[in-house]
Chain A
Amino acid sequence: MKHLIILFFLAALTTGSLSAQSRLQTATNLSLGGGGTAYMDSYDANFLNPANIMLRNDRKTKLSFGLVGLGVSAGGPLANIKTYNKYLTTGQTLTTTLSTEMLDEWFGKDPEVSTSFGMEVGILSFGSAFQGSNWAASLAIRNRVLTNVGVSRGLPEVFFHGLDPAVFGNGRAVNMNVDVLAFTEVSLGYARHVIDLNGMKFYAGIAPKILMGHNTQRLDFNSTITANNGNFRHRYDYTIQTLGALADGLTDYARDRDNTPAGADKPEIGDYIETGASDFTGVQTTGLGFDLGATMIMNADFVPIPQWGPFKGARQLTVGLSITDIGKLNFSSASQFSNNGEVFFSGFNYDKDLIDAQFDGDFGKYAESVLKDSIGADAYLDFNKDGSAKVGRALPATINLGTHLKMGRFGLMLDIGKGLNDTGINSTNMYMALGTEYRLFGFWPLRMGLRAGGYSSTTYHFGTGLEFRNFEFSFGAASSTSSEKGAGISTAFSGLVFHF
């Protein structure tokens, strides 16, 4: 076991492919690197490992409830703070060579590959758990917004190089995707003591949950820009999946655009884009999901650390295994808009008749119109509504294995896991979360951790709080020190948590 733990630890530190996942971020587990499969208890366990509802972590109380816990995580390769600081904060002029060097570091050399940035906001608005002697149950309600933005190298190249033929002469992919999913989970967890075996206690738990989908937006924009010999060519293909006010606005815009009389100004799309709070509060669809897990607790006196100082006290090893966020939301009321085409600009055509007739002889107005309408409304904004679409959004499912070695007031936690899809900040790459905790005076926890892999570079975590017998309030934060693989930043507040 000892060797196994060391092996995991070393692997996590040496590979960027290990990754944190889209998991519940509480003040506690965020401080400890984002794991928690083997130590997060009470109603939080619904979303990390439902078997842990049975865990008490030295508490004498049986009933817990909490309000308004908040966790925010963001990061990804796109948030490459190191490269950003290296190139974009020193006042230097980014020549073509320097820009290329920077973008090589930031986006890699493959222009077809998109670099992403994700963010998850979760609010655990209510949670309650009751623990019996052999079973435990909990109820938790969590609101989640998952966002993922992906950009190919070509987009920043337009900004840093302009339409330099040296860059775009042979065509360059300029891609972007945006994915937003907002939903609420109402999770009901149940766990029980399954068996005692050779001094090891096994618990199992499951937390089915009702999923209420509020909104989903997805933009998938793929294009190629070619600029050479003074010509500009942009082939593009994009799809927008949306619903709510945005879908209505785009539908209205397409209608009005198509009904615009010849020669009249095309409508401004900005006049049609409206979003309201109702887009993220109303329930557009419902679904079912679940989280499940198993936990084993055993005595850890075998750990070869002397009973000294901070490690003095009872020793216990907890191992947990969970599969979370199994489920899917199907938005049947979504609309899909798509467009593909090509903009080719090789100079303005000097159409004096047209300029006189429609622009009072003002070439400037004519040029503006060409750019705005002919290229804008008539090309990029010439999307069609494909009709209503049934859009499925899988939850950011993960599989996680975690351990928690408790030695008196000191704790050491290690999780590894892997995303089963790329929803939100989820990553199919493995991640590792390592954390330690020491509880000063028994109520003042000091927590540190690190997370490696996943959607960002290694992040370092810290948290503290006050955790009394009946009340606790804590927070945690994390950031990366080196963002070559993408910065990560997270923060979480426990909200108000009571134990009785």
Chain B
Amino acid sequence: MKPITKLFGVIATVGLIAGCEIPSKPDFKTSQKVDVKILNSTEFKFLGGKKALIDTTKGDIADFFSTDPNGVVSISTTEDFDFGDLNDAIPVISVAPTTVDAEVGPLKLNEFSSDSGPNGLGSANFQQLTGLNPSLFPAGTPILGASSPNPVNISLATNYLVSATIREGSILMTLNNKLGFNLSTVNMTLKSGNNVVGAINFTNLLHNTQQTTSLVIPPNTVLQSINVDVSIAWATQNLQAQPNELIVQNVAGDGLEASQVVAAVGPQSFSTAGKIVVAEDQFLFTQAGDYIEVESGTLDINRIANNMGLGIQSFVLSLPSIRRAPYGVGDSLVIRFEGATALTAGRVIENFLVPLANTRIIAPNNEVRYSVAATTQDLRQGDNSTPATIRATDNVFASVGISNLAIRSAIGTIVTKSVELNEDDPSNGTNIDLFNDNEANLITLDGIEDLSDKIEGLEFRDARLSISYQTNIGISAKVVGSFVGVDAKGQLLYLTGKPGSPLHVASNPFTNFTSKGVPINASQMIQFQLATSPDGSMISGSIDFNNTNSTIIDFLNKLPVEIRFIGKAVINENNQRGQIQSPVRFEPKILVDIPLSIQTVSAAVYEDTLDVDLADLPGPDDDRRLTNATITVSYVNRLPLEINLNLDFLDDNFVVLTSSPRSGQAATKLLASPVDANGFVLPAGRTGTMVIQLDRSQMDILNRTRKIGLRTSLLTTDGGVVRIRANDGFTMGLNGSFSITTTVN
């Protein structure tokens, strides 16, 4: 074959191959459209089960919403305020210790000797007194009248008396004539040792008779080793019996009192009386029937000491102001130291406590009366007697008080006082701060947190707050304090009484109330009076905070998610007589009731920011892009609210990427249902459609969206008052129309 022929063949072959069809790299964009129902028409009731705007099956929501017989929904909750008891209202009775000083006083000397038998205390015989030999004068023998040649000294056997310093009184001297003849006179000189105390005469002392004569002892006479000088005189006569003796039969005191003795004295009784003063700073016994019934406490005899040289066989402390049940006069508290508890000589008893539980203190003029009756031991023990030295100033000393007195009940006049209703946290001193959780009472309304956080401007027309309580306080009590509501944004609003109403606080009586450390003033306070129990039994009462007497509407319009309270109870502000008993109970419940009877004078705003990560959506650089999205909401609105919806698409830093609708575009609006004269929606509601449209430029940046800011303005139907019922709601269906561009290259 020639070369030209070969070349032809090669060219033809290459041309054949070059002419073959070869697919190129794909490079195109599709424009897909999807028009699809996203959500079937679905009815959402306002309040109810899971398919409701407010799902009452969730958490404790059910407890938070209620409906009245008309079906009107209320946000309501009842929370307890735990004040514990108000026992601080019970007066604290303080009683200063009192000294009881019981002196023995003047000592009574009655008996000088333990033996005044036939031989008496001493005697002088016939011969001593007459100088005659008795053997010469048998019975019947005449004796001529004469007198003693010399006084005869007779020592007296007074074993009971060693010595005595006489304060006053007399001594009775008894002579027994056994001389065998009658004496016309007997002269007797009483001597203390060699000191003459006094002299007395006996006349016509017949044989075999006794005669007693009194001798006044001068004050301050010291009797010691007493003896008498005796001389006699007689007339002529016959001896009537064998001559014998003139006997000093007895020496005894007659009203004889000594300031000091060394003697074996008999029982010495002494007594004293006094009062224990009840402080008047908290409680006054103003009427005869006033009393304090003691829950617990003691009568404290801190120290009782027998300072005498002899024992006290009986020491009785009587407190007629303190009585045991049944609280009659005879039920007085009597404390005895006798027998085993007797106050022996020199005995000291420390801290002798007498429980006062269940006793009543009846203390007119705030004085607790007492008396002491004591008797010393009897030293007279015959020949075995041991004289003791006793002074009239010897005493029994005791310190008596009442301590730890807890009162179960009291009738009388409680002095005005303020009682803290909150526990004090010492970390901020004595201040009571609304925002100290350890101090303030707090109720939380978690169920409306979302609403509170996101909605603003709704006016709840019939909102109210009330405090219902039970108490047994029988005297006037007024609560003065501060309620602050904190909404979900942290804004504060104080509940106050309107001027002129009883709830209004004109001036703050308390300086230790603070809010976040700043003193609370009267414009942030409210007060209310508690009912008084007539007999100390539990009674119920309530206080309503309404639009007439308080700022409750403004307060609850904020939809507080927590309500804090600090306060004090001012007890018996007018110092009236009343009764109180422990425990003093004040058990309040706070009832918040916010019927959804609302009005929007200007548009209420509901704002929320939802975490919506749209990163999965295509962006401008992705092969697949949404170029148009139209969401059509078909609705039947049976809520009396017009809703204007604005969506802000936000990035991580809350920067608005785009909004829908855009500025200048028609509002995305859901029209309110018409209402009847009562503000209830009409059954047919309002039918309409709402379109949310995003154009291509918006779609291009949607994938940078991490959050969607929801700004909704709400208007009640025609701006009037409307009422939302549980079965109100709306029906909606969603249609989506999307254009999708897919790039293939």
Taking beta carbons and an 8 Å cutoff, which residues of A are in contact with B?
A: 81-82, 84-85, 87-96, 99, 159-166, 227, 230-232, 309-310, 345-353, 356, 409, 438, 440, 446, 448, 457, 459-462, 464, 477, 479-483, 487
Binds A, one of B36-44, B306-314, B714-722: B36-44
CA separation between A231 and B117, bound complex, in Å?
A: 142
CA separation between A487 and B572, bound complex, in Å?
A: 108
- Which B residues touch A487, using CB under 8 A? 21, 23
CA separation between A353 and B27, bound complex, in Å?
A: 47
B30 with A481: CB separation less than 8 A: no
CA separation between A160 and B744, bound complex, in Å?
A: 11
CA separation between A349 and B735, bound complex, in Å?
A: 13
Partner of A92, one of B1, B28, B50: B28
B40 with A159: CB separation less than 8 A: no
Report the 5 A-B pairs with minimum CB-CB distance, sorted nearest first.
A162-B32, A347-B37, A479-B20, A352-B50, A230-B37
Closest chain A residue, CB of each to CB of B38: A347
B735 with A230: CB separation less than 8 A: yes
CA separation between A162 and B624, bound complex, in Å?
A: 12
B16 with A163: CB separation less than 8 A: no
- Which A residues touch B42, using CB under 8 A? 349-350
Closest chain A residue, CB of each to CB of B27: A91
A309-B1, A480-B20 known; A232+B40 contact, CB < 8 A = no
Q: Could you tell me the distance in whole angstroms from the C-beta of B729 to the nearest C-beta in chain A? A: 13
A91 with B23: CB separation less than 8 A: no
CA separation between A334 and B24, bound complex, in Å?
A: 40
Closest chain B residue, CB of each to CB of A450: B16
- Which B residues touch A162, using CB under 8 A? 30, 32-34, 738, 740
B28 with A345: CB separation less than 8 A: no
Taking beta carbons and an 8 Å cutoff, which residues of B are in contact with A?
A: 1-2, 5-6, 9-10, 12-13, 16-17, 19-40, 42, 49-51, 55, 733-735, 738, 740-741, 744-745
CA separation between A457 and B744, bound complex, in Å?
A: 26
A482 with B30: CB separation less than 8 A: no
- Which B residues touch A230, using CB under 8 A? 35-37, 735
A93 with B32: CB separation less than 8 A: no
A93 with B39: CB separation less than 8 A: no
A95-B31, A347-B37, A448-B16 known; A82+B5 contact, CB < 8 A = no
B33 with A161: CB separation less than 8 A: yes
- Which A residues touch B13, using CB under 8 A? 446, 448, 462, 464
B6 with A163: CB separation less than 8 A: no
Extra 5 A-B pairs, beta carbons < 8 Å, given A163-B32, A310-B5: A161-B31, A164-B33, A165-B35, A349-B40, A462-B17
A-B contact pairs, 6 of them (CB 8 A): A81-B22, A163-B32, A165-B35, A347-B38, A351-B51, A481-B19
Partner of A348, one of B9, B16, B23, B39: B39
Q: Could you tell me the distance in whole angstroms from the C-beta of A478 to the nearest C-beta in chain B? A: 8
CA separation between A480 and B40, bound complex, in Å?
A: 52
A346 with B40: CB separation less than 8 A: yes
- Which A residues touch B37, using CB under 8 A? 230-231, 345-347
**CB contacts between A and B, total, < 8 Å:** 150
Partner of B25, one of A89, A351, A480, A481: A89
Closest chain A residue, CB of each to CB of B733: A347
- Which B residues touch A227, using CB under 8 A? 35-36
CA separation between A457 and B19, bound complex, in Å?
A: 13
- Which B residues touch A99, using CB under 8 A? 30-31
B36 with A232: CB separation less than 8 A: yes
CA separation between A309 and B19, bound complex, in Å?
A: 27
Q: Could you tell me the distance in whole angstroms from the C-beta of A41 to the nearest C-beta in chain B? A: 23
- Which B residues touch A462, using CB under 8 A? 13, 16-17
- Which B residues touch A165, using CB under 8 A? 33, 35
Q: Could you tell me the distance in whole angstroms from the C-beta of A249 to the nearest C-beta in chain B? A: 31
- Which B residues touch A352, using CB under 8 A? 49-51, 55
Q: Could you tell me the distance in whole angstroms from the C-beta of B20 to the nearest C-beta in chain A? A: 4
A446 with B21: CB separation less than 8 A: no
Closest chain B residue, CB of each to CB of A408: B1
A93 with B21: CB separation less than 8 A: no
A161-B32, A350-B39 known; A460+B19 contact, CB < 8 A = yes
A85-B24, A88-B28, A89-B28 known; A163+B34 contact, CB < 8 A = yes
A163-B35, A352-B50 known; A88+B21 contact, CB < 8 A = no
- Which A residues touch B5, using CB under 8 A? 309-310
- Which A residues touch B50, using CB under 8 A? 352-353, 356
CA separation between A159 and B744, bound complex, in Å?
A: 12
CA separation between A91 and B30, bound complex, in Å?
A: 10
Q: Which of B50, B734, B741 has its CB near the most chain A CB atoms (within 10 A)? A: B50
Q: Could you tell me the distance in whole angstroms from the C-beta of A451 to the nearest C-beta in chain B? A: 12
A91-B28, A99-B30, A346-B37 known; A84+B23 contact, CB < 8 A = yes
Closest chain B residue, CB of each to CB of A353: B50
A88-B28, A446-B13 known; A479+B22 contact, CB < 8 A = yes
- Which A residues touch B17, using CB under 8 A? 460, 462, 477
Partner of B21, one of A82, A96, A353: A82
A159 with B20: CB separation less than 8 A: no
CA separation between A462 and B11, bound complex, in Å?
A: 12
Closest chain A residue, CB of each to CB of B57: A356
B9 with A480: CB separation less than 8 A: no
Partner of B40, one of A96, A348, A448: A348
- Which A residues touch B741, using CB under 8 A? 93
CA separation between A25 and B101, bound complex, in Å?
A: 143
A310 with B1: CB separation less than 8 A: yes
Q: Could you tell me the distance in whole angstroms from the C-beta of A378 to the nearest C-beta in chain B? A: 18
- Which A residues touch B49, using CB under 8 A? 352-353
Q: Could you tell me the distance in whole angstroms from the C-beta of B500 to the nearest C-beta in chain A? A: 51
Partner of B32, one of A164, A356, A480: A164
CA separation between A82 and B23, bound complex, in Å?
A: 8
- Which B residues touch A483, using CB under 8 A? 21
B28 with A90: CB separation less than 8 A: yes
- Which A residues touch B27, using CB under 8 A? 88-91
A99-B30, A160-B32, A162-B34 known; A440+B1 contact, CB < 8 A = yes
B40 with A409: CB separation less than 8 A: no
A350 with B35: CB separation less than 8 A: no
CA separation between A462 and B17, bound complex, in Å?
A: 7
Partner of A460, one of B20, B22, B33: B20
B24 with A89: CB separation less than 8 A: yes
Q: Could you tell me the distance in whole angstroms from the C-beta of A195 to the nearest C-beta in chain B? A: 37
CA separation between A480 and B23, bound complex, in Å?
A: 11
Closest chain A residue, CB of each to CB of B734: A347
A81-B21, A347-B38, A483-B21 known; A94+B1 contact, CB < 8 A = no
- Which B residues touch A461, using CB under 8 A? 16
B36 with A347: CB separation less than 8 A: yes
Q: Could you tell me the distance in whole angstroms from the C-beta of A140 to the nearest C-beta in chain B? A: 30
CA separation between A181 and B741, bound complex, in Å?
A: 38
Partner of A94, one of B31, B38, B745: B31
Q: Could you tell me the distance in whole angstroms from the C-beta of A174 to the nearest C-beta in chain B? A: 15
CA separation between A490 and B19, bound complex, in Å?
A: 15
- Which B residues touch A346, using CB under 8 A? 37, 40
- Which A residues touch B51, using CB under 8 A? 350-353
Q: Could you tell me the distance in whole angstroms from the C-beta of A134 to the nearest C-beta in chain B? A: 35
Closest chain B residue, CB of each to CB of A346: B37
- Which B residues touch A351, using CB under 8 A? 51
B21 with A94: CB separation less than 8 A: no
CA separation between A459 and B19, bound complex, in Å?
A: 10
CA separation between A438 and B12, bound complex, in Å?
A: 12
A309-B5, A438-B9, A440-B6 known; A460+B16 contact, CB < 8 A = yes
A93-B741, A309-B2 known; A159+B30 contact, CB < 8 A = yes
CA separation between A480 and B569, bound complex, in Å?
A: 103
- Which B residues touch A477, using CB under 8 A? 17
B20 with A481: CB separation less than 8 A: yes
- Which A residues touch B26, using CB under 8 A? 84, 88-89
CA separation between A347 and B37, bound complex, in Å?
A: 4
- Which B residues touch A81, using CB under 8 A? 21-23
Partner of B36, one of A345, A409, A457, A480: A345
Closest chain B residue, CB of each to CB of A162: B32
